[in-house]
Structure 1
Amino acid sequence: MEPSNILDAPQVPAVIDEAELIGLESTKTPVIQSEPAYELNPPLDTAEQQCLLLDGEGNLPPRQDEPDLSAPSRPNLRRDNSVPSLSPAPLHLPPPAPPAPSLGAAQPTDSLSLMQLRNLVNALPRVEPTPYSFVYEDASSFAEELEEWFSYKVEEQAMILKTLSSFTHEWGAFNGLGSINRSAYEEGGLDWAQASDEQRKEFINSLLAGIAQDDPSARLIKLEALLYILLGCWHETAGSPETDSTGDSKAPASPGTKTDFPPPIFIKSALQIRYIRKNTQTILSCGGLQPIVDSLTASCLRLCGVDVSSRPGSQGDKEAERREVWCTMTAVYAILEVGRVEEKENQDLSIRTQILQLNEPNLLMTLVDLIAKLRWDDSIALSLTKVSLLTWKTILVCFGGLPEVGKAKESFRDKSHDEADARGQPIITASPLDYHLFRQEISSKYPAYNPPPPLFPLEPENHSILPPVRNHPSKAAGNHIFGSGLGNMNGHNTSIFDQPVHIATPAPSPPPSPAGPGGKGGKKQNYQTNQLFPFLYPPLDEASNNLGGKGSTDLQDLLVGRKWEGSDIPASILEAAELFARRMRATRAMKQLWEERVHFMKYERGWSGADENADVEELCLEPKEGDVAKEPAPPGSTEERMRLVEDFYRKSLPNLQSMVIVLIKAILSHVTALVTQQATAPNGLQNGFQYQENQNGNAPGNPNANGVNGPNATVSTNEQIDGMRTQEINDKAVSGILILLLKWFKVSHILKFEYVTQLLVDSSYVPLILKLFQLQEIEKVVNFKCEQEELNFFQFCRAHSRIGIEEEKPTHEADPGSDSDDAAPPPIRMRREDGANSQSEQPTQPPIQQPPEVDELGFPTNELPKEPITNFSWRAFFTAINYLRIMQKVCKNKAHRNLMLVSYKSSQFLRKCLKVPQPELRLYTLKLFKNQVPYCGRKWRQTNMRVITAVYLHCRPELRDDWLAGSDVDAAVDDSIPLEQALRALTHWHNLKRYPEAMGAKSGILEDEQDFFRRELEKMDWGDEVGDETQMEQQGWDIHVEGW
């Protein structure tokens, strides 16, 4: 259609419909200009999965240089322009459109060809919307993590200032000036940056020697001075440019090295951040880690009421003890953060190595013991938030984060199995349990067919060729009327013995339908041939002509005129069995669980003891078979990390339950606060906080970008802000601890992982998290950044530094051409200007932008921002994703726990997470939906079909993916509690066998339990009675012999 023919047409934005997308080649895919043009890699469609290719294509993917068969394309769609108002209707109608050019004489006009279907799929946008610039990692940036350690309390700010005064006193005394005042230090004559490395190390050694003395006041001053150095000497470095007066500038990063540049809000604190890392390395080079950790342990034990005999001055002032605990905790946290960042950026494991070489008990076990003490004594004045942060960062440094977990899992993967097919697509696999169920179904249908063996020697549930008898009949199965011929309406899932009408042999035609009372019969499928009947005759193949043992059947073949060629088993069954056997994968966790199951069954049946020959093996000096003298694992290797996880589990097993309970109590306190304040606070936020709509960072000049004290919000005090912020940080640390422990324990041994999940279930983790999601509007919480910028640590240091923050005040410079007359007041207007006054009094405010939302399938429900949002709550995203991941790990493949999700009606609470356009948050929410779909009713599935579709689109499928069909759900429900009990028994037996001391039992307890009946028989003198009866029988035999 020529443009000249439609000059009078309304000027509406041009769009591209599906009809025009049919012939577009992949190189001319229309790109919406508001989104970046990524290379699209759509999944395979049905035609490609079934290899239905055109002639001459073979197995090659579609070429990109094919001729263009498309119609002329229209201009691109621009999202940044609104639809203009329609112009008046044209006076003359445009001429009719010419017929569309044909796509080829041989092309059908009423259907799509395969090439057109491919072009259509390639043209569709497949890039997921990413309106948030959030990246899910182990932790946030160094500056943000360090800033979250410090609260907004006045007492903590005073302790930060006290570190400056203590350092001024000690630094002046070290330089021979006595007790100098602060003004002398502010002049810059004794700056830490101007001192030499020898002076710095000598001064640090003097401080480290001072923190080991018994005088509490002198020890506290030394600690505060040391902490001031660890915090980067903030008085002289905060707010300074990157290069100091000595010219000691930051070395440029080498190519390929990932550097953690501070966010833009920390640009003025870049020098302080660099000195924090540099001074930490200097202190550790002086051997300062062990004294600081010893001081932390001693001060925390004194606060817990434990007498430390090595320090007689421990009964000092409570305020001094509290300050000492804060100083030591802050120093250890700064060291841990520097160690984490150095390993992440520079692959430097020196700090991690020093932490692992600490004296026993190490730092991690000390923190676990402190958390366990909080369970039994609520009067301990330890901050759970700070102890949780220390524990989280210690686990992160010692064990490693999620990338290290992935490396460990990859090292245990079987390299002989392919992970991708010829097209590069991931191979869909099946577990040995799924293949076992498949073999049972095929064997019941074709008894003489023997499919390929499974990986594990699973015993068949039925040894008969007849279909299995239903052990768990449904309630509807017993509702039939006697003699009516109406049985279970789901008769295709039951055995033939449960059918009211029995068929002797598989008849090709259905039997006559018996009439019930009133002359009405049941449904037609109730009287058809039961498909569960097996084929009683063995399958015939080429060797079947010689069966029977009475010679060949050639004569019968000539008389009958038929000869068996090939197998009578359908080719689809053979192909399915081969495909299942080839795609079968056994994970390391499944192998470990199977091995423990075999050992447990042998122990129960008395075949072998749990610790058979354990006492002899310990005394044996001969090298064991296959035991090779190995060198110590290199630092940072998978072997070393696995050994650390094993040691931690063995030592912390007595305190794991207490640790989990205390961490769950932290979540409970958050839920309780939300419940009590929900009546006065909207959107699941605490009292005094309201969600501010326009806080996505896109509106210019937004003074309340953090969402606090918005135009319609009530005035919030610093205590309220600090309380909410502290709770968010505590939730972040708790979720980080749990997800790391679950990940590492599962890689180490599956029963360690199962033990922690059992503790979480017993501590009511599932209902607590569901209640938390119920009370919060997650799509608004992630946009609510609870921060008070002027109270943050680095901003506080700049405000009290030598430079200050006066330089940031805007200066209004006079215009060059202005004179003194410009200062005269404006003339007084005699009358009001229409429309001008109202506009001048009310400043123009940008349009309110709602937070981005998507529906269940991921399609946006409102306008997405043009650029990714940077002003959001990183903590809220991280915590919500961790909570969902933990719940997924707790409930995966556990019918009993998935039934808990259904009983708590979790779908209506989890649906909120699907509104947030964040891939990880949506993925784990969909996995939780997939777990509980088999146990939901038909009505629920009908109303949640969009959620089910999203599960199919985003969750990884399995070869036997029958989660939607829900095969034999009644049996799974009835077996859920026995399976849960069996798993708990196996876990308890495993812990008793490997860690008897940690479980509070003596070594050899399992052998004593195995000899229970022997001890009972000995109490009954059963052996003596047997001996007497044998002697009497022998004497009687002798008497009979003599009488004979």
Structure 2
Amino acid sequence: MKKNFKSGYTNYFVVLFFVMETQIRDLEAQLEELDQFPGAIIDRGEMVETSDDQDILSSPHSSFSFTDNDDEDEREVDGLNNFNIILEYPELQYEYRELEDFETEYMDWFTATDLRELSNIKKLAIQNQTPSDLAKKLIDTSDRSALHILICLEYIAMGQYGEISEISELTTKIIDNSCLLLSHEVLLPVLEILSSRLILLSDLKNQEKPFNHKQLRLWSSQLYHSMTIIYTVVLATLTTKEKVRFLAGIIDTSQLLTTMMKAIDNWRWLTADSNDKELGSALDNSVVHYFKLRNVIMLLSKLVLLQFGDSELLQSTKSFLRFKCESGHVFGSAPGTRGAKVETITPLDYQYFRKELIARYPTYSPPEHKVSDILQMSVEQDNESCSKLINTSALLINQKHHLRNKLPSSQNSCPPDIHIATPAPSPTLSPQHTGGSRSSNISEVEHVNGQGRKKVFITQPQFANLYPFSHDIPVSIQEATRIFHAHVSESFSALQFTDVFEDFIRQEKGITEPTRSKFIYTEKDIEKNPIFADELVSLQRVEQFYHSTLPYLNSLAAILIQIISSNVLPASGYKSAENPFLPLKKPYNISDMSNYDKQKLDLMRIKETCLKAASTTIFLLLKWFKMSHILKQEYFALLLFDNDLYLNLFRFLGSNQMQTQLENSFDFNDPEMLLKNRAVFCDYEVLYDSKEYNFFRAATSFCRQAPQSPKFNSEDIFEVNEQAYESYIPPFNGQSHVKILKPNHRYCTIITQLLRSLYSTISNYKIQRIYKLLEVRPTESLRFLLTMYNSNFYKPVLKVIKLICPFNGKKWRSNNMDLISFVYLFYKVGLRDQWLNNLFIFNLSERLKRSWENEYALRSLLKFYNATYYSDQMVNFGYDNIPPLKQEMFFEEGWKGDI
């Protein structure tokens, strides 16, 4: 009986895929407009953005379709939707890391066209010459001779592959030869040519002499070969972790990062001019391809990783900043936690809690925690702003305390009026009390038929009046106060934000001029903290990078977002006039593939490798900018938002979801179905079995006679366990039938980094951005990412769901209770979790006003920060000779009525 019950239970909860046919047709029509083989990595097709209030407020209704026709026999299983949490989701065995092994990263650099040039490079290479001798010839030589010398240095960097027949031996040789190139006298001349060609090819419209394509091809070849040398040396250094400081110092000396950012900015406007027909420019579209944008973005991502540091250095830098800036119980553990991470609240949160507590219990004196006078003034003024220029209550440090309306109604969260001598609300006058006083804790509702009145006692959940009492204060209130006060701690990010905010208020009031930022570190800090020398040097490099590249960050953000857009998968799977070839069945066999199929997969590989570099750059810049100063991160996040990150990101995620669920039924534990998911199966990995697409096979083929054994084996992707379950523990019991052992690491890294970056742009209740995110209807894409269990996917997705939940209505919550349950099951609980409450209880116009004030206040503070500490760079934005804020300006005609 038990066995039959298990079998029936399992069969009952097998998931059938459901997608509305109209949604499929709409998305296919949009995706088919994209070229299958675009001329550049970035597709420039525009998508029409739709806005539907029902879709914004709630996710599409989920149901099980038992037929192909949605109008016939459509039924819904009670209590379930397509992705219900009681399903056994497959486990994705993936660990996040910014850098893969050397072979994988090195193969990503080359295209099939590049590999065909290996034989020519081998023929042109000069034997028996050291890198130092070649570098000396590189100085003060002609362009054509410089190209020949660069090819010789490139051949050495590639391990002199013409003499080696084993892949493992070639890998070792490349790493060893990279150490030979690792010197100032060799790398600096190469870096000089690299920098000059970047500027020349990106700034063609300002050239004095008319350009010709022959000269451009020569510059482009020099650029590519010099980037290949630098990429090889940087990659070998990062993977071996030897002489990282030395190489980073050489890159600092050459100022290559600043040059690359300037060149990217020039290239962006160069492409804009070449596409502008009314401009009458002499440039044509073929010119922009000489810049080698894909290689530039890939090299930039590795240089950011080299100069700033990986996740390990990022965590140690975070520990240093906590040690230096934070106070309270940061490194301690609360009793009974056994070393677990302790949840904390900010001093400002505690001040608001203490203010509410005193209003509820006037005879109680909670323990104090000092904050600055400006922050205390912000707390005491409640919803009023302490600034004439911006609404300070809408700033990120305290705006979450002002999301609720402060209307004097019996339903609001304000404490009730109390008698001065007792901590409890005043009693009613009599049982027949019929007053309609707003201060009463009784609400009387009269029936429409004129019958008796119904009395409802309104409770205050924020001020629980629980027994037993100790003197005049409930014991529960005293215990909560002790817990909150013991866990007060201010993060270094909040300290950085508060420091700029207080400088802004002081300068506005005419109290003092802002001084040098407290969070810029010098050599004296390294002398005081020699154990944190690496962390301080990284912070110095981030500061220098932000200062020197501030005018170019917007162009970088725009190009990185376009790379995300270019990776939207076109609709496939159906034979048509536009697509005469049916896709091959997965997993692929390279011997059965035509040249068309190989080229198609190679194009996908090129785009995906470029996207990984773009996502790594976005993620690392956001993280390191936060370490340097929170407003640096907020500025870069602002640029990503302004360049439509949300729309392009969820187009990208949605295209993979549609490819995975093209059929009418979908089983999450069916390996054949899972192969359609790009996170599970790497389509183009089969190309690495051919020397036409694999650098190491192509390089060793000059000395190898026998064919090499295949590297790709699709049978190792899954591990399927057919044993019956002992128990069913929703949503994931660790005993799923299917485990994905070898997922597509590159795509998983892209998803992880983009999701974490998405959360950084909306965190701390950025209201306008959250509403903008809701407009792209992200719910189904986020739910789809939870159908494979992996903590790297789950954590950012659940953080996003928890953040957007208060801004959705009851219908959205009722349709997405599985997502809410996921947050409870898999995400940590805070000390004051009110995310299931409606934060906005006022009308639409008030919501728009609050969201506008929130975004305006943040942007104003960002402008003040950049104009105060980076005034020399603000000239490039048109802000020249910005006058400081003075007290006199507030007594002009426009301010007289407000003072």
TM-score, normalised via structure 1 length: 0.61
Deviations 1:484-538 (A, max 9, x none): xxx98x72547879xxxxx99532866345746641466522xx47759999xxx
Q: Do the aligned residues in 2 keep the contact of 1:597 with 1:986 (CA within 8 Å)?
A: yes
CA distance in 2, matches of 1:453, 1:211: 69
Note the 1:611-690 alignment, pairs <5 A.
630=527, 637-671=534-568, 674=569, 677-678=570-571, 690=583
User: 2:231 pairs with 321, 328, 333, which one?
Assistant: 333
The superposition leaves residues 834-890 of structure 1 with CA deviations (integer Å, 9 ceiling, x where unpaired) of xxxxxxxxxxx999989999999643899634x6522x3211101011111110111
Match of 2:153 in 1: 226
Task: Work out the CA distance in 2 between the residues paired with 1:355 and 1:283.
Answer: 14
Change in 2 beyond 3 A, CA 1:530/1:931: closer
585, 593, 599: which one aligns with 2:497:
593
Q: Where in structure 2 are the equivalents of 1:1002-1013 lying within 5 Å?
A: 1005-1008=881-884, 1010=886, 1013=889
Query: CA distance change for structure 1 residues 648 and 632 in 2, over 3 Å: closer, same or farther?
Result: farther
Contact 1:435 1:580 (C-alpha < 8 Å) held by counterparts: yes
Amino acid at match of 1:573: I
Distance 1:793 1:212, change over 3 A: farther
User: Counterpart in 2 of 1:1000?
Assistant: 875
Which stretch of structure 1 is more off in the superposition, 210-219 or 368-377?
A: 210-219
Partner of 2:698 in structure 1? 797
1:445-594 to 2 correspondences below 5 Å = 445-457=360-372, 458-459=376-377, 491=411, 493=413, 505-507=426-428, 511-512=433-434, 513=444, 515=446, 518-520=449-451, 523-525=454-456, 528=457, 567-594=471-498
Aligned residue identity for 2:321: F
1:904 alignment partner in structure 2: 776
Asked whether 1:882 is paired with 2:779, we answer no
Q: Is the 8 A contact 1:302 1:314 kept in 2?
A: no
1:374 aligns to what?
267
Are residue 134 (structure 1) and residue 35 (structure 2) matched?
A: no
| Displacement of 1:366 | 1.6
- Deviation per CA, 1:369-408: give whole Å up to 9, x if none: 1211121011432122111111100010111011111100
Alignment deviations for residues 65-113 of structure 1 (CA, whole Å, 9 cap, x no partner) = xxxxxxxxxxxxxxxxxxxxxxxxxxxxxxxxxxxxxxxxxxxxxxxxx
- In 2, the alpha carbon distance for the partners of 1:919 and 1:164 equals 46
Evaluate the alpha carbon distance shift between residue 729 and residue 848 of structure 1 in structure 2; reply closer, same or farther with a 3 A threshold: closer
3-state secondary structure, aligned to 1:491: coil
Q: Distance in 1 between matches of 2:717 and 2:862?
A: 55
Report what 1:776 is aligned to. 656
How much does 1:902 deviate?
A: 2.6
Unpaired segments ≥5 residues, structure 1: 1-9, 17-127, 175-201, 241-268, 465-469, 478-486, 498-502, 536-564, 615-625, 696-701, 811-844, 1018-1044
> Quick one: percent identity of the two aligned structures?
22
Q: Secondary structure at the match of 1:524?
A: strand
User: Compared with structure 1, are the counterparts of its residues 213 and 898 closer, same or farther at alpha carbon in structure 2 (3 Å cutoff)?
Assistant: same
- Per-residue deviation at 1:306? 5.6
Other-structure match for 1:978: 853
8 Å contact from structure 2 (residues 542, 625) kept in 1:
yes
Deviations 1:562-597 (A, max 9, x none): xxx962011111111111111122100111111211
Q: Which moves more between the two structures, 143-152 or 357-366? A: 357-366
Of stretches 425-434 and 924-933 in structure 1, the one that deviates more from structure 2 is 425-434
From 813, 816, 830, the counterpart of 1:941 = 813
**1:1015 & 1:146 partners in 2: Cα distance?**
64
Query: Hey, what's the Cα distance between the residues in 1 that align with 2:344 and 2:752?
Result: 26
- Is the CA contact 1:689–1:716 (under 8 Å) kept in the aligned structure 2? no
2:237–2:244 contact (8 Å) kept in structure 1: yes
User: 1:729 aligned to 2:605?
Assistant: no
Q: Of the two structures, which has the highest relative contact order with CA contacts closer than 8 Å and spacing of 6 or more?
A: 2
The residue that corresponds to 2:185 in the other structure is: 287
Q: Residue deviations 1:1004-1041, cap 9 Å, x none? A: 94545538749989xxxxxxxxxxxxxxxxxxxxxxxx
Counterpart position of 1:891 = 762
Rate the CA distance shift 1:604–1:727 in 2: closer, same or farther, 3 A.
same
Deviations 1:719-750 (A, max 9, x none): 32221111101110110001000101111111
Sort the Cα spacing of 1:325 and 1:533 in 2 relative to 1 into closer, same or farther, 3 A. Answer: closer
- Is this contact kept in 1: 2:238–2:306, CA < 8 A? yes
Cα contact 2:574–2:582 (8 A) shared by 1: yes
2:124 aligns with 166
**Alpha-carbon distance in 2 for matches of 1:289, 1:998:** 30
Q: 1:976 to 1:519 in 2, by over 3 A?
A: same
Query: Which one-letter code corresponds to 1:299 in the other structure?
Result: R
Q: Deviations over 1:329-368 (max 9, x none)?
A: 111110110111121xxxx2x2542342357551211211
Tell me if structure 1 keeps the 8 A contact 2:351–2:369: yes
1:913 aligns with 2:785: yes
Match of 2:358 in 1: 443
Deviation of the 1:291 alpha carbon: 1.2
The answer to whether the 8 Å contact 1:934/1:969 transfers is no
CA positional deviation for 1:281:
0.6
Q: Structure 1 residues 808, 658: CA separation in 2 closer, same or farther (over 3 Å shift)? A: closer
User: Is it true that 1:149 corresponds to 2:21 in the alignment?
Assistant: no
State the structure with more CA Rg: 1
Q: Tell me, in whole angstroms, the C-alpha distance in 2 between the residues paired with 1:596 and 1:318.
A: 47
**Counterpart check, 1:988 vs 2:892:** no
Counterpart residue number, 1:754: 634
Describe the SS at the equivalent of 2:112: coil
State the AA in 1 paired with 2:255.
N
Native 8 Å contact 2:719 2:740 kept in 1:
no
**Is the 8 Å Cα contact of residues 415 and 460 (structure 2) preserved in structure 1?**
no
Residue matched to 2:175: 277
Cα pair 2:181 2:233 within 8 Å, conserved: no
CA–CA separation in structure 2 for the residues paired with 1:405 and 1:763: 27
Distance in 2 between residues matched to 1:847 and 1:204, nearest whole Å: 43
Gaps of 5+ in 2: 8-87, 272-286, 383-400, 418-423, 435-443, 518-522, 661-673, 894-899
For 2:205 and 2:482, the matched residues in 1 are separated by: 69
Contact 1:308 1:314 in 2 (8 A): no
**Distance in structure 2 (CA, Å) of the matches to 1:588 and 1:781:** 38
Deviates more, 1:930-939 or 1:783-792: 783-792
Alignment match, 2:240: 342
Pair 607,875 (structure 1): closer, same or farther in 2 beyond 3 Å? same
Please state which structure has a larger fraction of its residues in helix: 2
CA distance in 1, matches of 2:311, 2:3: 50
Number of the residue aligned with 2:303: 394
Alignment-derived partner of residue 294 in structure 2: 385
CA contact (8 A) 1:495 1:532 kept: no
SS at 1:412 equivalent: helix
| 8 Å contact from structure 2 (residues 403, 839) kept in 1 | no
1:430 equivalenced with 2:430 (yes/no): no
Alpha-carbon RMSD? 4.7
Tell me the secondary structure at the aligned position of residue 210 of structure 1. Answer: helix
- The answer to whether the Cα contact below 8 Å between 2:807 and 2:839 also exists between their aligned partners in 1 is no
**Distance (whole Å) between structure 2 residues aligned to residue 434 and residue 408 of structure 1:** 26
CA distance in 2, matches of 1:995, 1:733: 28
Q: Is the 8 A contact 1:856 1:914 kept in 2?
A: no
| 2:386 alignment partner in structure 1 | none
CA-CA distance at 1:443 after TM superposition:
2.1
